[in-house]
Amino acid sequence: MALLSDFQFDNRFAQLGDNFSTRVTPEPLRNPRLVISSPSAMQLLDLSPEEADGALFTELFSGHKIWSSAEPRAMVYSGHQFGSYNPKLGDGRGLLLGEVVNHAGEHWDLHLKGAGSTPYSRMGDGRAVLRSSIREFLASEALYALGIPTSRALCVTVGDNPVYREREERAAMLLRLSQSHIRFGHFEYFYYTRQHTQLRELLNFTLRSCYPECLKEANPDLAMYREVLQRTAAMVAGWQVYGFCHGVMNTDNMSILGITFDFGPYAFLDAFDLNHVCNHSDHEGRYAFHRQPAIAQWNMACLAQTLTPYIEAETLKAELAHFMPIFEQHYLRLMRRRLGWAGAQRGDSKQIEQLLQLMQDSGSDFNLSLRLLAEGKSEVRDHFIDRDAFDHWLAEHLHRKGNNADQDQALQANPIYLLRNYLAQNAIAAAEQGDFSEVRQLHSLLAAPFSERPDAMEYAAVPPDWGRHIEISCSS
């Protein structure tokens, strides 16, 4: 076990120098309180959960104290936002505090989101509100527990500083953990500003720090691109299988590690709807649920463009063409698990499509329907309007499952508790009144979403009427 006060830092990204990031000191929160912490994320840093109870924990993660060997920096990057290139973005409200090395030799970036203004804040105040910090915390914990690659969240703190969005809110900070904070947009920034020396430096750094195994390959750059593509396709498959809508799949929100990154107005689907758009600023539906795989591939094309100084365009195009088949393969594998189907059969894809079409037509609750199917409960029928069509599908499903179906495995793939918008909303409303117990309760359920808790079955319910169409904006 490590002590928070004795953290060992090795700030490799900071050492790349001022072309890559700018030194900035966090602006502390007034009268900070700890909203929530994650014991499993603390473990990544070799911390015991009790460390979160000490005053030092809250001081460090609300910008009041800083380790002498940490080196807080705002990173520069750019990116394609809603399809258009934005030449200069960067950390406008978050700082890479430094890289902690754990007992296994892993480097973990400590990124404090909401730490105040930076040279990249543009018109923004550099702050994050409590609502969005809680949402990011819960989502990364929920995705992690579902087995979907994601950045992690160590804790959320809140202060008395007022922050003005559509209304006055409280400033908060989220401590995000990831083994890298390099985004596709980092590569785009150096490529489009024609800083090819720095682009090469970034590529070498990413290879060394994130993809050392690729350095053994004949063409390390290509090997890395291939690996990012595979991971990104697998990640999006996880999203589609659990109904996760990211909401802002801009290239600056795409991690070079192929993990879910930068949570904004995301949503887990309640009623199944391929056309669901969770970000109410997304008027064109660019990031609608069903478009996510194609958008991820589009983002991979943006990344490919930045590698054209090193890899033939034709070679990159050929790699990019593998995205959808890889996605499909992961998607089918995971859907079969949810449905309890052993092995792979030729008609699987069609049978899954038919189920989703029935759900789309009925507005069936995506997660609950699949959970009831896995439990073998006949009440699943009640979620479908065309009962005859569903009965027909069910007969084929039972036939497909056969006798060697693994019921336990299906139950382990179908969560009882899902981070539904209405649950997050209830927890946020209480937290805004100073009561953090709801956030903590919801977190404990989402951290073990497959385990039934008889005292908390109301959290497994579909949304009440008011909770069906909650609009989430980008302004957070």
CA-closest candidate to residue 274, choices 185, 353, 204: 353
Buried-exposed string 332-341: b where 16+ CB fall within 10 A, e elsewhere: bebbbbbbbb
Q: What residues from 125 to 164 belong to the interface with ligand AMP (CB under 6 A)?
A: 125-127
125 binds, among ligand AMP, Mg ion, none (CB under 5 to 8 A by kind): ligand AMP
CA-closest candidate to residue 241, choices 363, 383, 413: 413
What is the token pair recorded at 332? 């089918």
Q: What residues from 220 to 259 belong to the interface with ligand AMP (CB under 6 A)?
A: 248, 253
What residues have CB less than 8 Å from 297, skipping those under 6 apart?
A: 320, 323, 324, 327
Q: How far is the CB of 94 from Mg ion (least distance, A)?
A: 9
Backbone angles phi, psi at 188, to 5 degrees: -65, -40
Q: How far is the CB of 473 from ligand AMP (least distance, A)?
A: 11
User: Could you tell me how many residues of this chain bind ligand AMP (CB under 6 A)?
Assistant: 16
Q: How far is the CB of 67 from ligand AMP (least distance, A)?
A: 23
Q: How are the residues of the chain apportioned to helix, strand and coil, as percentages rounded to the nearest 5?
A: 45, 15, 40
Q: How far is the CB of 184 from Mg ion (least distance, A)?
A: 11
Q: What are the start-end ranges of the E strands in 114-151? A: 128-129
How far CA 175 is from CA of 128, 166, 387, in Å, comes to 12, 24, 48
- Residue 157 is classified by DSSP as E
124 binds, among ligand AMP, Mg ion, none (CB under 5 to 8 A by kind): ligand AMP
Residue 90 found at the interface with ligand AMP (CB under 6 A) = yes
Q: Which is nearer to ligand AMP, 180 or 369 (CB)?
A: 180
Q: Which is nearer to Mg ion, 46 or 262 (CB)?
A: 262
Q: Distance between the two ends of the chain, CA-based, in angstroms? A: 35
Q: Quote the CA–CA distance of 322 and 312 in Å, as a whole number.
A: 16
51 binds, among ligand AMP, Mg ion, none (CB under 5 to 8 A by kind): none
Residue whose pair of structure tokens reads 């502390």 in the numeric block? 28
Question: Site for ligand AMP (CB under 6 A): which residue of 73, 80, 93, 131?
Answer: 93
Q: How far is the CB of 415 from ligand AMP (least distance, A)?
A: 27
Question: Site for ligand AMP (CB under 6 A): which residue of 32, 63, 220, 264?
Answer: 264
347 binds, among Mg ion, ligand AMP, none (CB under 5 to 8 A by kind): none
Question: Site for ligand AMP (CB under 6 A): which residue of 27, 46, 51, 91?
Answer: 91
Residue 92 found at the interface with ligand AMP (CB under 6 A) = yes
Q: What residues from 223 to 262 belong to the interface with Mg ion (CB under 5 A)?
A: 253, 262
22 bridge partner residues: 74
Q: How far is the CB of 297 from ligand AMP (least distance, A)?
A: 20
Q: What residues from 337 to 366 belong to the interface with ligand AMP (CB under 6 A)?
A: none
Residue type, position 54, single letter: G
Residue whose pair of structure tokens reads 């069906």 in the numeric block? 468
Residue 136 found at the interface with Mg ion (CB under 5 A) = no
- Only segment of 83-91, 219-227, 327-335, 396-404 that touches ligand AMP (CB under 6 A): 83-91
Q: How far is the CB of 232 from ligand AMP (least distance, A)?
A: 17
For 198, the 3-state DSSP assignment is helix
Q: Quote the CA–CA distance of 228 and 216 in Å, as a whole number.
A: 16
Neighbours of 105 (CB within 10 A): 6
Question: Site for ligand AMP (CB under 6 A): which residue of 41, 70, 89, 277?
Answer: 89
Q: How far is the CB of 89 from Mg ion (least distance, A)?
A: 7
Q: What angle do CA 467, 472, 474 make, to 5 degrees?
A: 175
Active site residue 282: no
For 110, the 3-state DSSP assignment is strand
Q: Which is nearer to Mg ion, 156 or 380 (CB)?
A: 156
Residue type, position 106, single letter: E
Q: Which is nearer to Mg ion, 14 or 89 (CB)?
A: 89
90 binds, among Mg ion, ligand AMP, none (CB under 5 to 8 A by kind): ligand AMP
Among 109, 221, 252, 262, the one annotated catalytic: 252
What residues have CB less than 8 Å from 428, skipping those under 6 apart?
A: 130, 131, 134, 135, 439
Q: Quote the CA–CA distance of 266 and 253 in Å, as a whole number.
A: 12
- Only segment of 13-21, 32-40, 124-132, 140-148 that touches ligand AMP (CB under 6 A): 124-132
Q: Which is nearer to Mg ion, 174 or 358 (CB)?
A: 174
Q: What angle do CA 370, 373, 377 make, to 5 degrees?
A: 135
Active site members:
252
List contacts with Mg ion (CB under 5 A): 253, 262
List contacts with ligand AMP (CB under 6 A): 89-93, 120-121, 124-127, 248, 253, 262, 264, 474
